[in-house]
């Protein structure tokens, strides 16, 4: 059997993007959604992990940057696989972490990234989100309630 150079072998493997979101609710059970400056739709706060950055730390960093909140990423609620398409040249793994309940919703948005934020009733959040991501919210809320991580293959 021929020897395979590990560096070349790893370089030839497929790669994917890694993004995270955080499910945050207020004391009334309303879900925090954000509208970014670069998209027309709403979604969970979070973002893309940097190279070598663990997902839970990426999520915490993004929440701090975007909202001025120091929230550790709690239990994993959902894993969503999104195949490459259109402008996105690689597949994406999207992880939703539980951020718990915000008792003091003092939010300071990163103005060059977040255009708006709102706390919405759980049954109305999907109407603000695109169909391609709204399923994450429903499943993350169920996972928070049941304690079982949801896997959402496309």
CATH assignment at residue 96: 3.90.79.10
Is 6 domain-assigned? no
Number of domains in the chain: 1
Q: Provide the 8-state DSSP code for 97.
A: E
Is 5 domain-assigned? no
15: Cβ contacts below 8 Å, ≥ 6 apart: 90
Residue 121 is predicted with a pLDDT of 96
Is 2 domain-assigned? no
Is 90 domain-assigned? yes
pLDDT tens digit at each of 154 positions of the chain: 677 888 988 888 888 999 999 999 999 999 999 999 988 889 999 999 999 999 999 999 999 999 999 999 999 999 999 999 888 889 999 999 999 999 987 899 888 999 999 999 999 998 999 988 999 999 999 999 999 999 998 6
Is 95 domain-assigned? yes
- Which among 117, 120, 132 has a CA at the least distance from the CA of 35? 117
Provide the domain limits for residue 98.
14-152
Is 85 domain-assigned? yes
- Which among 70, 69, 122, 77 has a CA at the least distance from the CA of 96? 77
Is 1 domain-assigned? no
Is 32 domain-assigned? yes
């Amino acid at each position: 059997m021929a020897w395979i150079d590990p560096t070349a072998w790893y370089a030839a493997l497929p790669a994917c993007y890694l993004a995270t979101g955080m499910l945050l609710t207020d004391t009334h059970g309303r879900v925090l959604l954000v509208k970014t400056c670069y998209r027309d739709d709403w979604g969970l706060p979070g973002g893309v992990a940097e190279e070598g950055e663990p997902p839970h730390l990426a999520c915490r960093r993004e929440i701090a940057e975007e909202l001025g909140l120091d929230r550790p990423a709690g239990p994993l609620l959902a894993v969503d696989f999104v195949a490459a398409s259109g402008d996105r040249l690689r597949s994406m793994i999207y992880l939703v972490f539980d951020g718990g309940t915000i008792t003091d919703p003092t939010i300071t948005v990163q103005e060059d990234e977040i255009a708006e934020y709102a706390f919405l009733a759980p049954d109305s959040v999907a109407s603000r989100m695109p169909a391609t991501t709204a399923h994450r919210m429903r499943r993350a809320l169920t996972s928070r309630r049941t304690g079982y991580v949801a896997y959402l293959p496309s």
